[in-house]
Amino acid sequence: QDSAAVASEIGGSGTKPNPSSLAPVNLDHGDPTAYETYWSKVGERSTITFTGDQSLSYFANAKNLCWFLEPKLEEEIRRLHHVVGNAKVDDHFIIVGNGSSQLIQAALYAVSPSDQPQPTSVVSAAPYYSAYQEVADLLRSGLYKWGGDAYSFNKDEPYIEMVTSPNNPCGMTREPVVNRPQGKIIHDLAYYWPHYTPITSQVDYDIMLFTVSKCTGHAGSRIGWALVRDKDVARKMVDLMVISTIGVSKESQLRAAKILGVISDSCLLDKSPGLENFFEYAQHLMAARWEKLREIVKVNELFSLTEYPSEYCLFTKEFTEARPAFAWMSCKSDMEDIEKILRGHKILARGGKRFGSDPKYVRISMLSRDQEFNLFLERLSSIHGITSGN
Protein backbone atom coordinates (compact mmCIF):
# COMPACT_ATOMS: atom_id res chain seq x y z
CA GLN A 1 0.00 0.00 0.00
CA ASP A 2 1.53 3.36 -0.91
CA SER A 3 1.58 6.34 1.41
CA ALA A 4 -1.20 8.19 -0.45
CA ALA A 5 -3.53 5.21 -0.04
CA VAL A 6 -2.71 4.99 3.64
CA ALA A 7 -3.34 8.72 4.13
CA SER A 8 -6.69 8.51 2.40
CA GLU A 9 -7.68 5.44 4.39
CA ILE A 10 -7.17 7.22 7.69
CA GLY A 11 -8.51 10.52 6.40
CA GLY A 12 -5.40 12.25 7.65
CA SER A 13 -4.01 15.52 6.44
CA GLY A 14 -0.82 15.97 8.43
CA THR A 15 0.13 12.33 8.90
CA LYS A 16 3.20 10.95 7.17
CA PRO A 17 3.60 7.16 6.99
CA ASN A 18 7.08 5.90 7.55
CA PRO A 19 8.53 5.16 4.09
CA SER A 20 10.92 2.51 5.45
CA SER A 21 7.97 0.49 6.72
CA LEU A 22 7.16 -2.76 5.02
CA ALA A 23 5.60 -5.26 7.40
CA PRO A 24 3.22 -4.09 10.11
CA VAL A 25 4.46 -4.24 13.69
CA ASN A 26 1.90 -6.37 15.48
CA LEU A 27 1.21 -5.22 19.05
CA ASP A 28 -2.37 -6.45 19.08
CA HIS A 29 -1.64 -9.50 21.25
CA GLY A 30 0.06 -9.36 24.62
CA ASP A 31 2.70 -11.90 23.55
CA PRO A 32 5.27 -11.61 26.36
CA THR A 33 8.58 -12.06 24.52
CA ALA A 34 10.18 -9.04 26.22
CA TYR A 35 11.98 -11.14 28.84
CA GLU A 36 13.79 -13.50 26.43
CA THR A 37 17.12 -11.77 27.04
CA TYR A 38 16.82 -12.34 30.78
CA TRP A 39 16.16 -16.03 30.27
CA SER A 40 19.02 -16.43 27.82
CA LYS A 41 21.33 -14.93 30.47
CA VAL A 42 19.98 -17.38 33.07
CA GLY A 43 20.98 -20.20 30.68
CA GLU A 44 21.39 -23.69 32.15
CA ARG A 45 19.90 -22.77 35.51
CA SER A 46 16.45 -22.76 33.93
CA THR A 47 16.92 -25.92 31.88
CA ILE A 48 14.87 -29.02 32.60
CA THR A 49 15.18 -32.41 30.91
CA PHE A 50 12.96 -35.50 30.79
CA THR A 51 13.66 -39.14 30.12
CA GLY A 52 11.24 -41.44 28.31
CA ASP A 53 10.12 -43.26 31.43
CA GLN A 54 9.07 -40.11 33.29
CA SER A 55 5.62 -38.60 33.76
CA LEU A 56 3.56 -41.29 32.04
CA SER A 57 0.68 -41.32 34.49
CA TYR A 58 -2.33 -39.02 34.38
CA PHE A 59 -1.88 -38.62 38.14
CA ALA A 60 0.56 -36.31 39.88
CA ASN A 61 -0.62 -36.65 43.48
CA ALA A 62 -3.69 -38.84 43.97
CA LYS A 63 -4.15 -37.55 47.55
CA ASN A 64 -4.53 -33.94 46.49
CA LEU A 65 -7.93 -32.44 45.63
CA CYS A 66 -6.27 -31.24 42.42
CA TRP A 67 -4.76 -34.68 41.69
CA PHE A 68 -3.08 -33.65 38.43
CA LEU A 69 -1.12 -30.79 40.09
CA GLU A 70 2.60 -31.60 40.30
CA PRO A 71 3.73 -31.22 43.96
CA LYS A 72 6.84 -29.33 42.84
CA LEU A 73 4.72 -26.75 41.02
CA GLU A 74 2.46 -26.33 44.05
CA GLU A 75 5.54 -25.80 46.24
CA GLU A 76 7.05 -23.21 43.89
CA ILE A 77 3.75 -21.31 43.49
CA ARG A 78 3.37 -21.05 47.26
CA ARG A 79 7.04 -20.04 47.66
CA LEU A 80 6.82 -17.34 45.00
CA HIS A 81 3.73 -15.75 46.58
CA HIS A 82 5.54 -15.76 49.92
CA VAL A 83 8.66 -14.17 48.40
CA VAL A 84 6.72 -11.48 46.52
CA GLY A 85 4.00 -10.95 49.14
CA ASN A 86 1.29 -10.24 46.55
CA ALA A 87 -1.29 -12.85 47.62
CA LYS A 88 -2.11 -15.01 50.63
CA VAL A 89 -1.84 -18.67 49.75
CA ASP A 90 -1.93 -20.59 53.01
CA ASP A 91 -5.73 -20.96 53.23
CA HIS A 92 -6.27 -21.66 49.55
CA PHE A 93 -6.40 -24.71 47.32
CA ILE A 94 -4.23 -24.47 44.22
CA ILE A 95 -5.65 -25.58 40.89
CA VAL A 96 -3.43 -25.67 37.83
CA GLY A 97 -4.85 -24.92 34.40
CA ASN A 98 -3.90 -24.80 30.73
CA GLY A 99 -3.19 -21.11 31.03
CA SER A 100 -5.40 -19.01 33.23
CA SER A 101 -7.72 -18.94 30.19
CA GLN A 102 -8.94 -22.43 31.06
CA LEU A 103 -9.28 -21.44 34.71
CA ILE A 104 -11.55 -18.54 33.75
CA GLN A 105 -13.92 -21.11 32.24
CA ALA A 106 -13.50 -23.42 35.24
CA ALA A 107 -14.25 -20.59 37.67
CA LEU A 108 -17.34 -19.47 35.73
CA TYR A 109 -18.60 -23.06 35.74
CA ALA A 110 -17.86 -23.49 39.46
CA VAL A 111 -19.55 -20.33 40.75
CA SER A 112 -22.60 -20.33 38.47
CA PRO A 113 -25.73 -21.18 40.46
CA SER A 114 -27.32 -24.32 39.01
CA ASP A 115 -30.88 -23.51 40.16
CA GLN A 116 -31.52 -20.43 37.99
CA PRO A 117 -34.13 -20.41 35.20
CA GLN A 118 -31.86 -18.22 33.05
CA PRO A 119 -28.08 -18.20 32.54
CA THR A 120 -26.31 -16.01 35.13
CA SER A 121 -24.86 -12.73 33.84
CA VAL A 122 -21.07 -12.42 33.70
CA VAL A 123 -20.06 -8.76 33.94
CA SER A 124 -16.85 -6.75 34.10
CA ALA A 125 -16.26 -3.02 34.33
CA ALA A 126 -15.43 -1.44 30.97
CA PRO A 127 -12.85 -1.30 29.62
CA TYR A 128 -12.66 -5.06 30.24
CA TYR A 129 -10.42 -7.89 28.96
CA SER A 130 -11.97 -8.82 25.62
CA ALA A 131 -11.70 -12.59 26.20
CA TYR A 132 -14.31 -12.58 29.02
CA GLN A 133 -17.13 -11.90 26.60
CA GLU A 134 -15.79 -14.51 24.15
CA VAL A 135 -15.47 -17.17 26.85
CA ALA A 136 -18.86 -16.40 28.39
CA ASP A 137 -20.75 -16.59 25.08
CA LEU A 138 -18.85 -19.16 22.98
CA LEU A 139 -20.75 -22.29 24.02
CA ARG A 140 -24.10 -20.58 24.68
CA SER A 141 -24.08 -22.15 28.10
CA GLY A 142 -27.26 -22.66 30.08
CA LEU A 143 -25.29 -21.67 33.19
CA TYR A 144 -23.92 -18.24 32.31
CA LYS A 145 -23.87 -15.62 29.58
CA TRP A 146 -22.07 -12.34 28.96
CA GLY A 147 -23.85 -9.46 30.71
CA GLY A 148 -21.61 -6.56 29.57
CA ASP A 149 -20.24 -3.58 31.45
CA ALA A 150 -20.51 -4.04 35.22
CA TYR A 151 -21.17 -0.30 35.64
CA SER A 152 -24.51 -0.74 33.83
CA PHE A 153 -25.61 -3.94 35.56
CA ASN A 154 -28.72 -3.22 37.60
CA LYS A 155 -30.65 -6.49 37.71
CA ASP A 156 -31.75 -7.82 41.06
CA GLU A 157 -30.51 -11.36 40.46
CA PRO A 158 -27.33 -13.46 40.79
CA TYR A 159 -24.34 -12.33 38.73
CA ILE A 160 -20.63 -13.08 38.36
CA GLU A 161 -18.19 -10.17 38.23
CA MET A 162 -14.72 -10.48 36.72
CA VAL A 163 -12.39 -8.04 38.47
CA THR A 164 -9.04 -7.62 36.71
CA SER A 165 -6.42 -5.79 38.73
CA PRO A 166 -4.28 -4.28 37.39
CA ASN A 167 -6.69 -4.12 34.53
CA ASN A 168 -6.18 -5.33 31.00
CA PRO A 169 -6.39 -3.08 28.93
CA CYS A 170 -5.93 0.11 30.98
CA GLY A 171 -3.49 -0.89 33.77
CA MET A 172 -5.58 0.63 36.57
CA THR A 173 -6.07 -1.00 39.98
CA ARG A 174 -9.63 -2.32 40.18
CA GLU A 175 -12.25 -3.16 42.81
CA PRO A 176 -15.66 -4.79 42.28
CA VAL A 177 -18.23 -2.25 41.11
CA VAL A 178 -21.64 -3.99 41.40
CA ASN A 179 -21.37 -4.81 45.12
CA ARG A 180 -24.57 -6.77 45.73
CA PRO A 181 -25.03 -9.81 47.94
CA GLN A 182 -26.09 -12.08 45.04
CA GLY A 183 -22.72 -11.60 43.33
CA LYS A 184 -19.77 -13.96 42.96
CA ILE A 185 -16.42 -12.37 42.24
CA ILE A 186 -13.50 -13.80 40.30
CA HIS A 187 -10.29 -11.82 40.73
CA ASP A 188 -8.05 -12.05 37.68
CA LEU A 189 -4.60 -11.03 38.95
CA ALA A 190 -2.55 -11.93 35.87
CA TYR A 191 -0.64 -8.63 36.16
CA TYR A 192 -0.40 -8.28 39.94
CA TRP A 193 3.37 -8.59 39.95
CA PRO A 194 6.00 -5.99 40.91
CA HIS A 195 7.29 -5.37 37.38
CA TYR A 196 3.86 -4.06 36.32
CA THR A 197 2.41 -2.39 39.38
CA PRO A 198 3.23 -1.45 42.97
CA ILE A 199 2.28 -4.34 45.31
CA THR A 200 0.15 -2.34 47.74
CA SER A 201 -1.25 -5.23 49.78
CA GLN A 202 -1.12 -8.97 50.18
CA VAL A 203 -4.50 -9.77 48.67
CA ASP A 204 -6.70 -12.51 50.08
CA TYR A 205 -9.74 -13.05 47.84
CA ASP A 206 -11.93 -16.15 47.46
CA ILE A 207 -10.88 -16.87 43.87
CA MET A 208 -7.62 -15.48 42.46
CA LEU A 209 -6.25 -16.30 39.01
CA PHE A 210 -2.57 -16.04 38.03
CA THR A 211 -0.52 -17.11 35.03
CA VAL A 212 3.14 -17.71 34.21
CA SER A 213 2.43 -16.05 30.83
CA LYS A 214 2.55 -12.55 32.21
CA CYS A 215 4.63 -13.20 35.30
CA THR A 216 7.75 -14.78 33.74
CA GLY A 217 6.89 -14.50 30.04
CA HIS A 218 6.47 -18.27 29.48
CA ALA A 219 3.12 -18.01 27.71
CA GLY A 220 4.03 -20.99 25.52
CA SER A 221 4.04 -23.35 28.51
CA ARG A 222 0.31 -22.62 29.00
CA ILE A 223 0.38 -22.75 32.80
CA GLY A 224 -1.96 -20.77 35.02
CA TRP A 225 -3.09 -21.32 38.57
CA ALA A 226 -6.10 -20.50 40.69
CA LEU A 227 -6.02 -19.89 44.45
CA VAL A 228 -9.43 -20.94 45.74
CA ARG A 229 -10.63 -20.69 49.33
CA ASP A 230 -13.81 -22.79 49.18
CA LYS A 231 -13.40 -26.55 48.84
CA ASP A 232 -16.61 -27.09 46.85
CA VAL A 233 -15.73 -24.38 44.36
CA ALA A 234 -12.22 -25.85 44.04
CA ARG A 235 -13.70 -29.31 43.45
CA LYS A 236 -16.02 -28.04 40.72
CA MET A 237 -13.13 -26.28 39.02
CA VAL A 238 -11.18 -29.55 39.07
CA ASP A 239 -14.23 -31.29 37.54
CA LEU A 240 -14.20 -28.91 34.61
CA MET A 241 -10.48 -29.42 34.10
CA VAL A 242 -10.91 -33.18 34.16
CA ILE A 243 -13.80 -33.21 31.72
CA SER A 244 -12.16 -30.78 29.29
CA THR A 245 -8.49 -31.92 29.31
CA ILE A 246 -8.02 -34.57 32.08
CA GLY A 247 -5.50 -32.29 33.73
CA VAL A 248 -2.48 -30.36 32.53
CA SER A 249 0.78 -31.47 30.86
CA LYS A 250 3.32 -32.59 33.44
CA GLU A 251 6.21 -31.41 31.28
CA SER A 252 4.73 -27.92 31.27
CA GLN A 253 4.07 -28.00 35.00
CA LEU A 254 7.60 -29.12 35.82
CA ARG A 255 9.08 -26.53 33.51
CA ALA A 256 6.92 -23.84 35.10
CA ALA A 257 8.02 -25.06 38.55
CA LYS A 258 11.65 -24.69 37.48
CA ILE A 259 11.09 -21.21 36.07
CA LEU A 260 9.16 -20.00 39.14
CA GLY A 261 11.90 -21.47 41.33
CA VAL A 262 14.52 -19.46 39.43
CA ILE A 263 12.66 -16.19 39.91
CA SER A 264 12.10 -16.84 43.62
CA ASP A 265 15.80 -17.65 43.99
CA SER A 266 16.68 -14.51 42.03
CA CYS A 267 14.98 -12.44 44.75
CA LEU A 268 16.92 -14.10 47.57
CA LEU A 269 20.56 -13.03 47.76
CA ASP A 270 21.83 -16.21 49.40
CA LYS A 271 20.23 -18.45 46.75
CA SER A 272 21.23 -16.49 43.72
CA PRO A 273 24.91 -15.67 43.30
CA GLY A 274 25.25 -14.21 39.83
CA LEU A 275 21.51 -14.30 39.17
CA GLU A 276 19.92 -10.92 38.49
CA ASN A 277 16.69 -10.26 40.41
CA PHE A 278 14.02 -11.03 37.80
CA PHE A 279 11.52 -8.46 39.04
CA GLU A 280 14.13 -5.69 39.16
CA TYR A 281 15.26 -6.57 35.64
CA ALA A 282 11.71 -6.64 34.29
CA GLN A 283 10.73 -3.50 36.18
CA HIS A 284 13.67 -1.56 34.68
CA LEU A 285 12.86 -2.85 31.23
CA MET A 286 9.20 -1.81 31.52
CA ALA A 287 10.07 1.55 33.10
CA ALA A 288 12.52 2.34 30.27
CA ARG A 289 9.89 1.44 27.64
CA TRP A 290 7.24 3.57 29.32
CA GLU A 291 9.61 6.51 29.59
CA LYS A 292 10.43 6.37 25.88
CA LEU A 293 6.75 6.03 24.95
CA ARG A 294 5.73 8.93 27.18
CA GLU A 295 8.44 11.17 25.67
CA ILE A 296 7.05 10.57 22.19
CA VAL A 297 3.41 10.99 23.17
CA LYS A 298 4.18 14.20 25.12
CA VAL A 299 5.19 16.02 21.95
CA ASN A 300 2.46 14.47 19.84
CA GLU A 301 -0.62 16.56 19.11
CA LEU A 302 -2.98 13.64 18.54
CA PHE A 303 -2.52 11.13 21.32
CA SER A 304 -2.49 10.88 25.08
CA LEU A 305 -1.68 8.12 27.59
CA THR A 306 -3.24 7.01 30.86
CA GLU A 307 -1.43 8.37 33.95
CA TYR A 308 -0.87 6.23 37.05
CA PRO A 309 -0.51 7.36 40.67
CA SER A 310 2.74 6.80 42.54
CA GLU A 311 2.15 4.25 45.30
CA TYR A 312 4.28 2.48 47.90
CA CYS A 313 5.30 -1.00 46.78
CA LEU A 314 5.70 -3.49 49.62
CA PHE A 315 8.03 -5.61 47.48
CA THR A 316 10.50 -2.96 46.25
CA LYS A 317 9.97 -0.75 49.35
CA GLU A 318 9.79 2.29 47.08
CA PHE A 319 7.13 4.62 45.71
CA THR A 320 6.59 3.73 42.07
CA GLU A 321 4.10 4.22 39.28
CA ALA A 322 2.54 1.32 37.41
CA ARG A 323 4.31 0.24 34.21
CA PRO A 324 1.51 -1.82 32.67
CA ALA A 325 1.90 -4.60 30.15
CA PHE A 326 -0.33 -2.62 27.78
CA ALA A 327 -0.46 1.06 26.90
CA TRP A 328 -4.02 2.38 26.81
CA MET A 329 -3.66 5.26 24.41
CA SER A 330 -6.37 7.65 23.29
CA CYS A 331 -6.95 10.24 20.63
CA LYS A 332 -7.37 13.74 22.01
CA SER A 333 -10.18 14.26 19.54
CA ASP A 334 -13.38 12.29 20.25
CA MET A 335 -13.96 11.89 16.54
CA GLU A 336 -11.00 9.69 15.72
CA ASP A 337 -10.65 5.93 15.33
CA ILE A 338 -7.18 5.49 16.74
CA GLU A 339 -6.80 1.84 15.73
CA LYS A 340 -7.32 2.90 12.13
CA ILE A 341 -4.83 5.74 12.38
CA LEU A 342 -2.17 3.41 13.77
CA ARG A 343 -2.95 0.76 11.17
CA GLY A 344 -2.31 3.37 8.51
CA HIS A 345 1.19 3.63 9.94
CA LYS A 346 1.64 -0.14 10.08
CA ILE A 347 1.10 -0.48 13.80
CA LEU A 348 -1.45 -3.15 14.68
CA ALA A 349 -3.17 -2.71 18.04
CA ARG A 350 -6.58 -3.55 19.48
CA GLY A 351 -9.27 -0.86 19.31
CA GLY A 352 -11.25 0.28 22.35
CA LYS A 353 -14.56 -1.18 21.11
CA ARG A 354 -13.28 -4.74 21.73
CA PHE A 355 -12.97 -3.83 25.42
CA GLY A 356 -16.45 -2.33 25.69
CA SER A 357 -14.97 1.13 25.31
CA ASP A 358 -14.67 3.83 22.65
CA PRO A 359 -12.85 3.73 19.27
CA LYS A 360 -10.82 6.72 20.41
CA TYR A 361 -8.90 4.26 22.66
CA VAL A 362 -6.45 1.59 21.65
CA ARG A 363 -4.54 -1.09 23.54
CA ILE A 364 -0.89 -1.55 22.59
CA SER A 365 1.25 -4.40 23.91
CA MET A 366 4.37 -3.26 25.76
CA LEU A 367 5.73 -6.83 25.97
CA SER A 368 7.19 -7.39 22.50
CA ARG A 369 10.88 -7.92 21.73
CA ASP A 370 13.09 -4.78 21.68
CA GLN A 371 13.25 -4.72 17.91
CA GLU A 372 9.47 -4.57 17.47
CA PHE A 373 9.07 -2.12 20.32
CA ASN A 374 11.66 0.23 18.81
CA LEU A 375 10.02 -0.01 15.39
CA PHE A 376 6.71 0.87 17.03
CA LEU A 377 8.27 3.95 18.66
CA GLU A 378 9.85 4.98 15.39
CA ARG A 379 6.54 4.69 13.54
CA LEU A 380 4.59 6.38 16.31
CA SER A 381 6.92 9.36 16.33
CA SER A 382 6.36 9.83 12.59
CA ILE A 383 2.62 10.41 13.15
CA HIS A 384 1.89 14.04 13.68
CA GLY A 385 -0.50 16.80 12.68
CA ILE A 386 -4.24 16.98 12.87
CA THR A 387 -6.42 14.47 11.06
CA SER A 388 -9.56 15.57 9.32
CA GLY A 389 -11.92 13.82 11.72
CA ASN A 390 -13.58 11.04 9.78
Using CB under 6 A, list all residues that contact ligand PMP: 30, 99-101, 129, 164, 168, 188, 190, 211, 213, 219, 224
- Taking the C-alpha atoms of residue 61 and residue 68, their distance in angstroms, rounded to an integer, is 6
Q: 224 or 344: whose CB is closer to ligand PMP? A: 224
Alpha-carbon 98 to chain mean position: 15
- Taking the C-alpha atoms of residue 174 and residue 163, their distance in angstroms, rounded to an integer, is 7
- Among residues 230, 190, 224, the alpha carbon closest in space to that of 207 is found at 230
Q: 76 or 188: whose CB is closer to ligand PMP? A: 188
78, 58 Cβ separation under 8 angstroms: no
Q: How far is the CB of 236 from ligand PMP (least distance, A)?
A: 19
Q: How far is the CB of 168 from ligand PMP (least distance, A)?
A: 4
- Taking the C-alpha atoms of residue 214 and residue 223, their distance in angstroms, rounded to an integer, is 10
Q: How far is the CB of 188 from ligand PMP (least distance, A)?
A: 5
376, 292 Cβ separation under 8 angstroms: no
Q: 350 or 379: whose CB is closer to ligand PMP? A: 350
Residue nearest to ligand PMP (CB): 99
Q: How far is the CB of 320 from ligand PMP (least distance, A)?
A: 21
Q: 211 or 320: whose CB is closer to ligand PMP? A: 211
**Region for residue 357 given its phi and psi (left: phi exceeds 0; alpha: psi -120 to 50; beta: otherwise):** beta
Q: How far is the CB of 211 from ligand PMP (least distance, A)?
A: 3
Q: 186 or 329: whose CB is closer to ligand PMP? A: 186
Q: 186 or 199: whose CB is closer to ligand PMP? A: 186
- Taking the C-alpha atoms of residue 130 and residue 315, their distance in angstroms, rounded to an integer, is 30
- Taking the C-alpha atoms of residue 189 and residue 167, their distance in angstroms, rounded to an integer, is 8
φ, ψ of residue 338 in degrees (nearest 5)? -70, -30
Q: How far is the CB of 291 from ligand PMP (least distance, A)?
A: 23
Q: 215 or 331: whose CB is closer to ligand PMP? A: 215
- Among residues 276, 337, 324, 328, the alpha carbon closest in space to that of 305 is found at 328
Q: How far is the CB of 268 from ligand PMP (least distance, A)?
A: 26
